[in-house]
Chain A
Amino acid sequence: MNTALRLVMAALITMAIVACQPKPKPTEEVPPGSETTTEGAAVEGAPDPRDYTDARNFDNPESLLSKRVVYFDFDKSTVRAEYRGIVAAHAAYLAAHAAGRVTLEGHTDERGTREYNLGLGERRGNAVMGLMSAQGARGDQLVVVSYGEERPVCRVSDESCWAENRRVEIVYTAR
């Protein structure tokens, strides 16, 4: 094999590796340096998805820590049973990581007035905060910000879309 061909192959392999890198999810806010390296994962193996104190589980689709949105019923702020596990997982992480900080962003669908929805979004954020606090997260680790109906993820005026917009996003500002 001549040198030129070797160089071309090396270039192709490099490109293939770059192309295979997982794209960062735009909704996740991960501070620089906190991401686990692929070599580390390869050496130690996949983390136990039920170990909610393990930061690697933030990117492990098997783990509840990778889920960071809680959805609500119309005009309600009760955390439904199916989302309690997610809330508990993040509470466990925060309890184990004193430096961890979370903003609970409360959102609503477009029905109802904008200022009332600011109140409703805050109620949802507070409901998640209350559960997390009861499960070991400290008050100074949690901040609720309500966006009301101002930051929809879906813009069609129907129930499937409204259901996606009625949510609390668990956003880590520090892990």
Chain B
Amino acid sequence: MTVTENMKKIIFLLLALLVHPLAQGQLQIEIISGNASALPIAIVPFSWEEPDPAPLTGVAEIVSNDLYRSGLFDPMESKDMPDRPSDEESIRFGTWRLLKVDYMVIGKVRTAPDGQGHELIYQLFDVHTQEKLLSQITTVGQGDLRFGAHRVADAIYKALTGVPGAFSTRIAYVTAIGTGKATKFELVVADADGFSPQSVVGSPEPLLSPAWSPDGKKLAYVSFEKGNSAIYMQDVSTGARELVSSGRGINGAPAFSPDGKSMALTLSRSGNPEIYIKNLATGAETQLTNHWAIDTEAVWAPDGKHIYFTSDRGGKPQIYRVPVTGGNPERVTLSGDSNARASIAPDGKRIAVAQGRGNEYRIAVWDTESQRFTILTPGTLDESPSFAPNGSMVLYATREGMRGVLSAVSADGNVRQRLILSDGDVREPAWSPVIR
């Protein structure tokens, strides 16, 4: 059962955290610009029905924060709530209607029947019609209430927006602390809300380009620890890693295929950067591009049939597309001075890029159907866009003064939030796939 698998994974993660405590603080998230039409919702604190004392941060608070950060919801603060019902019979809908709450969630936390873990039992109501929209039980492992709460937020988000939530996913990013040759680099994985940061690898040499395997278990990345770029693949929970490529020249831009069996990468052993496809089982490499230009930053279409990549074969960097089986690349992005580092939405129709114009770099989304760009961010040095696995948001790197920070913007550009690390530079975000 998937829940048991998750339990194991979470226990592993906790153990890993105990072994490698991260010196840095977690990411702090704040909304920079919100959405006026956010839905008023009340997540009533869940009643705690376990023998052990309740945790300091309750499930409802985590759910409220998740929904708030999406920009689509305006959760009521618990101190403003008239009462705290935990079963359907005791909800006084009239009172909540007067408080202009459209939706409300009630629930309780109990010890799971097998005695190992928690059961989150909850219901979602339309306050106006008193209709029960959702009634579910989520079971999670011992001591992993946060993950359970993110699952609850995912379900509520889906019930009210029709789109699966991405709150129970994770993000990978690179931190750089210190300056010059004394800089310390670290590849970190954290929950999508910035909690539970876990160091995957640390190095005195640059780390970049983390890419998730489709099952969310592994990260591929580029490390300069050997004095030149090299690609590694590492199991996030066990830490076991293998060297994928460290030939002469550039070894960069790894990207797992949707089936997880192959990896696209950039190698310059021929004299300049070209895209190759590596079969991860056999190690066989096939050259996909062959041009004097810089061809790099390969990403796979969700159906696995095409590779999108950055090339300056037309003079400035633009996004091109080529069948995985080979052939003539065709240019995809048809406007904008330069467009690079594509991230493809799960629908396969929207492509987020870092768009350059003079000294300004912004995150823009190319719609392959309307053949138009929507500019999502104000700049001026925004890069490394990474779509959420539900396509609702784009995580990206930006600069604040001399420091790198991560931001996330809703796919329509209306809601923007900032993820701040207590110290150092944060860059190279990669949003994980949905972890089942």
Across the interface, do B272 and A146 meet the contact criterion of CB distance under 8 Å?
no
Residues of A contacting B297 in the complex (Cβ-Cβ under 8 angstroms): 113, 115-116
Binary flags per residue of B287-308, CB closer than 8 Å to A gives 1, else 0: 0000000101100000000000
Query: Which residue from chain A places its CB closest to the CB of B296 in the assembled complex?
Result: A115
Q: Return the contact of B229 from the options A113, A146, A151, A157 (Cβ within 8 A).
A: A146
How far is it, in angstroms, between the C-alpha of A163 and the C-alpha of B231 when the chains are bound? 29
User: Which residues from A are CB-within-8-Å of B253?
Assistant: 115
Cβ A122 vs Cβ B209 within 8 A: no
A123, B272: Cβ atoms closer than 8 Å: yes
Complex Cα distance, B310 from A120, in Å, reads 13
Cβ contact within 8 Å between A157 and B272: no
CA distance A123 to B292 in the complex (A): 11
Decide if A118 touches B296 in the complex (CB within 8 Å): yes
Q: How far is the CB of B250 from chain A (nearest CB, A)?
A: 5
* Chain A residues positioned under 8 Å from B271 (CB to CB): 126
**B191 interfacial contact with A, CB 8 Å:** no
Cβ-neighbour of B268 out of A26, A114, A122 (below 8 A):
A122
How many residues from A make CB contacts under 8 Å with B? 25
Question: How far apart are B392's CB and chain A's nearest CB, in angstroms?
Answer: 23
A75 to B266, CA, bound (A): 19
Chain B positions within 8 Å of A114 at CB level = 208-209, 341, 383-384, 428
Taking the complex as formed, is A156 at the interface, i.e. its CB lies under 8 A from any CB of chain B? yes
State A155–B381 Cα separation when bound (angstroms). 13
Contact A116 B310 (CB under 8 A): yes
Is residue B317 contacting chain A, with contact meaning CB distance below 8 A? yes
- A contact residues around B384 at 8 Å (CB): 113-114
A116 partner residues in chain B, CB cutoff 8 A: 294, 296-297, 310, 312, 317, 340-341
C-alpha spacing A122/B228, complex, angstroms? 11
Residues of chain A within 8 A (CB-CB) of B250 are: 118-119, 122, 146
CA distance A110 to B427 in the complex (A): 12
A85 at the interface (CB under 8 A from B): no
Contact with A along B214-238 (1 / 0, CB 8 A): 0000000000100111000000000
Which residue, A118, A150, A156, has most C-beta atoms of chain B within 10 A? Answer: A118
CB within 8 Å of A: which residues of B?
A: 179-181, 206, 208-209, 224, 227-229, 249-250, 252-253, 266, 268, 271-273, 294, 296-297, 310, 312, 316-317, 338, 340-341, 354, 356, 359, 361, 380-381, 383-384, 399, 402, 428
Closest 8 CB pairs of A and B: A119-B294, A150-B206, A113-B341, A113-B340, A119-B273, A115-B253, A115-B296, A115-B297
